[in-house]
């Protein structure tokens, strides 16, 4: 029972991370195509500025839960996915540094350098996260000792690349909606236009991903065994369609929450299909790591659950308060603040 609870908490934490840091990654990926001058660049930076580091806390939390609740899975995951996870780490470091260093110099070359780092450090992680999770859904070639039989190119298979494209475009739509919330004037109009156009691309890629999932992964086995689970993808599709409805009505906060529901639903679609596997082996299902054969002791899981029930709501409340404090739209006058990027 505890193993199952922590399996779904693990999935939920990843979903929360994708929902929150997704708009940062997506918006920074779109920034070169949205900003026409340095003022607009700074508005985009400051629309993410108060939130991005708090959003990444959920990545640390998801990784920490993997380590504490499912240590064997953590070990094998960081072994088999070593290269992409290291690239992900470097990308996130470059992105973090770019926020702080961009404003340390006034030359155009200096700012362009860090703008490029911001783009690489956002597009790269979005793509790598999609590739990594698609490969987990599909199964990774590792043996009974957790030894990976492949290379980075093994992970860059068609299904993995479709998963990467899904994450990039899904996050881009999420980010464009966020900028529409936070900006005014021409920048707002540009963000709204990008959100509407990218939504069409997201719909197409999502359909391709769902069809490809049927042929490339065993995820649908759980759904066929328990048809009630089909409520998850149905709710996700509904959230995606409602996102477009709210974009068309220029109800941007509603569109952002609908987009958040889409991201969370897409994540939980994969998690529910995986259960009880955390890291399936494509070499032999018997080698797969599950919530039961890779978990910590019941005492550890019990203590963790008590701690999580106490502190996770506190973190959510604190972060919600932060979003409320920095809820105002940004314009050129906002950039005169000493705290502005």
**Angstrom distances, CA of residue 163 to CA of 55, 59, 277, 314, 339:** 22, 19, 19, 33, 37
Which pLDDT tens digit goes with each residue over 80-95? 888 889 999 999 999 9
Residue 178 confidence class, pLDDT cut points 50, 70, 90: very high
Tokens representing residue 241 in the block: 């369609």
For residue 164, pLDDT beyond 80: yes
Residue 204 confidence class, pLDDT cut points 50, 70, 90: very high
3-state helix vs strand vs coil in the chain, percent to 5: 80, 5, 15
Would you tell me how many other CB atoms lie within 10 Å of the CB of residue 218? 16
What three-state secondary structure class fits 278? strand
pLDDT in the model for residue 338: 66
For residue 134, pLDDT beyond 80: yes
Average pLDDT, the chain: 93
Which pLDDT tens digit goes with each residue over 30-69? 999 999 999 999 999 999 989 998 999 999 999 999 999 9
pLDDT in the model for residue 336: 77
pLDDT in the model for residue 185: 93
Which pLDDT tens digit goes with each residue over 211-263? 999 999 999 999 999 999 999 999 999 999 999 999 999 999 999 999 999 99
pLDDT in the model for residue 221: 94
Instruction: Evaluate whether 66 touches 74 at the Cβ level (below 8 Å).
Output: yes
Average pLDDT over residues 88-107: 91
For residue 75, pLDDT beyond 90: yes
**Angstrom distances, CA of residue 71 to CA of 67, 83, 162, 295, 305:** 5, 19, 29, 7, 16
In angstroms, rounded to a whole number, what is the distance separating the alpha carbons of residues 170 and 149? 31
Distance of CA 137 to the CA centre of its chain: 16
pLDDT in the model for residue 1: 87
Which pLDDT tens digit goes with each residue over 268-288? 999 999 999 999 999 999 999
Which pLDDT tens digit goes with each residue over 298-333? 999 999 999 999 998 999 999 999 999 988 898 888
Q: Which residue has the tokens 């000493």?
A: 338
Average pLDDT over residues 130-159: 92
Nearest of 316, 291, 296, 242 to residue 10 by alpha carbon:
291
Residue 140 confidence class, pLDDT cut points 50, 70, 90: very high
Share of the chain above pLDDT 90, in %: 86
Instruction: Evaluate whether 136 touches 281 at the Cβ level (below 8 Å).
Output: no
Instruction: Evaluate whether 305 touches 6 at the Cβ level (below 8 Å).
Output: yes
């Amino acid at each position: 029972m505890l193993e199952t609870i922590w399996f779904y908490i693990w999935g939920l934490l990843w979903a929360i991370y994708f929902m929150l840091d997704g708009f940062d990654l997506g918006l920074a990926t779109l920034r070169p195509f949205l900003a026409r001058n340095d003022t607009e660049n700074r508005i985009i930076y400051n629309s993410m500025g108060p939130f991005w580091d708090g959003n990444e806390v959920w990545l640390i939390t998801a990784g920490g839960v993997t380590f504490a609740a499912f240590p064997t899975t953590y070990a094998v995951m960081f072994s088999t996915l070593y290269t992409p996870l290291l690239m992900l780490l470097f990308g996130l470091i470059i992105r973090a540094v770019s926020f702080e260093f961009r404003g340390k110099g006034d030359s155009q070359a200096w700012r362009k350098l860090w703008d490029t780092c911001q783009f690489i450090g956002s597009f790269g992680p979005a793509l790598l996260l999609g590739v990594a999770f698609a490969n987990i859904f599909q199964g990774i070639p590792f043996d009974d000792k957790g030894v990976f039989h492949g290379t980075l190119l093994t992970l860059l298979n068609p299904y993995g690349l479709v998963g990467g494209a899904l994450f990039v475009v899904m996050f881009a739509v999420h980010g464009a909606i966020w900028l529409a919330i936070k900006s005014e004037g021409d920048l707002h109009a540009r963000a709204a236009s990008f959100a509407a156009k990218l939504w069409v691309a997201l719909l197409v890629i999502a359909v391709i991903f769902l069809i490809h999932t049927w042929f490339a992964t065993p995820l649908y086995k759980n759904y066929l065994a328990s048809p009630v689970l089909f409520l998850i993808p149905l709710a996700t599709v509904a959230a995606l369609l409602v996102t477009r409805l709210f974009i068309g009505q220029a109800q941007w906060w509603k569109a952002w929450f609908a987009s958040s529901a889409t991201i969370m639903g897409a994540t939980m679609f994969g998690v529910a299909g995986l259960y009880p596997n955390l890291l399936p082996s494509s070499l032999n299902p018997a080698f797969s790591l599950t919530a039961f054969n890779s978990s910590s002791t019941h005492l550890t899981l019990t203590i963790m659950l008590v701690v999580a029930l106490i502190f996770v709501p506190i973190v959510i409340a604190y972060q919600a308060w932060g979003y409320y404090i920095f809820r105002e739209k940004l314009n050129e006058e906002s950039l005169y603040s000493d705290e502005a990027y």
